[in-house]
């Protein structure tokens, strides 16, 4: 097992463990901390995929922005520890069967797909490529993103104002 594989497994285990902490914990702040490490693990996997720009953006936006927003939202809620966050379960056995079937299908797909691979030696910095592509080939999505962000900003500010009242 090379160092690369070892690092990949380490980050994957970090991500999966943190995500399970996030799903199963009863304390909302512990969930948020689990999410923090999950984001960090995903950023590590991005680095291993030679997406350096994306890894930095992952930490900047998800950890520095969205997790902060989540934590602020959690602090606004009434109860944080001992919250019963489980919804009730109805038909347990059929649900278990369906979940098992879906899991089997997804695993089969994941193993059978011919993922496009890249040799390890060709890892190159990506910022310049992303910049060029955004300005030339993907210009329309780029401009539409600005409109999407404007819509998100206006909508979120509007709803937050309603809450304040």
Partner 1 sequence: MLFDFASALIFMLVAAAFVGVNLVISRLLQPRNPTPGKEATYECGELPVGSGWIQFNIRFYVIALIFIIFDVEIVFLFPWAVVFKSLGLFAFVEMAVFIGILLVGLAYVWRKGDLEWDKPQTGKYSREAAPAYFEEASSSSLSYEKLESGNEVAV
Partner 2 sequence: MQELIASILAGENFLSDVPPVLITVVFMSAAGLLFASLAAINALIAVYLERKVSAHMQDRLGPMEVGPHGTLQTLADAVKLLLKEDIVPQNADRFLHTLAPFLVFAAAIGALVALPYSSAFLFANFDIGVLFVISITSLTVIAIIIAGWASNNKWSLLGGMRSAAQIVSYEIPTALALLVIIMQVGSLNFQQIATAQTGWFWHWHVFQFFPFNLIAFLIFFVASLAEVNRTPFDLPEAESELVAGFMTEYSGFKWAVFMLSEYANMIVVTGVGAAVFLGAHQSPFGNFMNGGVWGVFWFVGKAYGLVLVQIWLRWTLPRLRVDQLMYTSWKVLTPFAFACIFAVGLWMIL
Q: Which residues bind partner 1 (CB under 8 A)?
A: 4, 7, 44, 47-48, 50, 52-53, 55, 57, 60-61, 64-66, 68-69, 72-73, 75-76, 80, 123-125, 127-128, 130-132, 134-135, 139, 142-143, 145-147, 149-150, 152-154, 156-157, 160-161, 163-165
What 8-state DSSP symbol labels residue 49? T
Is the distance from CB of 39 to CB of 58 less than 8 angstroms? yes
Q: Does 148 bind partner 2 (CB under 8 A)?
A: no
Alpha helices in the chain (DSSP H): 3-24, 28-48, 52-57, 67-76, 92-112, 127-135, 139-164
Give 73 or 100: the residue with its C-beta nearer to partner 2. 73
The token pair at 38 is 């999950």
- Residue of the chain from 72, 92, 115, 158 that contacts partner 2 (CB under 8 A): 72
What is d(CA 12, CA 41) in angstroms, rounded to the nearest whole number? 7
Q: Is 125 in the site for partner 2 (CB under 8 A)?
A: yes
Who's near 113: CB < 8 A, 6+ residues apart?
Answer: none
Out of 127, 156, 157, 159, which residue is the one contacting partner 2 (CB under 8 A)? Answer: 127
83 in contact with partner 2 (CB under 8 A): no
Given partner 1, partner 2, none, residue 76, with its beta carbon under 5 to 8 Å by kind, binds: partner 1
| Angle between helical axes of 3-24 and 28-48 (0-180°, round to 10) | 160
Closest CA to 46 of 68, 17, 15: 15
**Can you give the binding site for partner 2, defined by CB under 8 A?**
3, 27, 29-30, 33, 36, 52-53, 56-57, 59-60, 63-65, 67-68, 71-72, 75, 125, 127
């Amino acid at each position: 097992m090379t160092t690369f594989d070892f690092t990949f497994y380490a980050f994957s285990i970090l991500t999966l463990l943190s995500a399970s902490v996030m799903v199963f914990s009863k304390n909302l702040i512990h969930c948020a901390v689990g999410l923090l490490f999950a984001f960090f693990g995903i950023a590590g996997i991005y680095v291993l995929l030679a997406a350096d720009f994306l890894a930095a953006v992952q930490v900047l936006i998800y950890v520095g922005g969205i997790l902060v927003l989540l934590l602020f939202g959690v602090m606004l809620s009434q109860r944080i520890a001992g919250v019963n966050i489980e919804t009730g379960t109805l038909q347990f056995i059929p649900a278990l069967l369906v979940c098992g079937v879906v899991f089997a299908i997804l695993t089969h797909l994941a193993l059978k797909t011919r993922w496009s691979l890249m040799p390890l030696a060709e890892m190159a910095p990506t910022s310049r490529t992303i910049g060029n592509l955004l300005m030339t080939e993907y210009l329309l999505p780029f401009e539409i993103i600005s409109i999407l962000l404007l819509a998100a900003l206006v909508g979120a500010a509007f709803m937050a104002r309603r809450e304040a009242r």
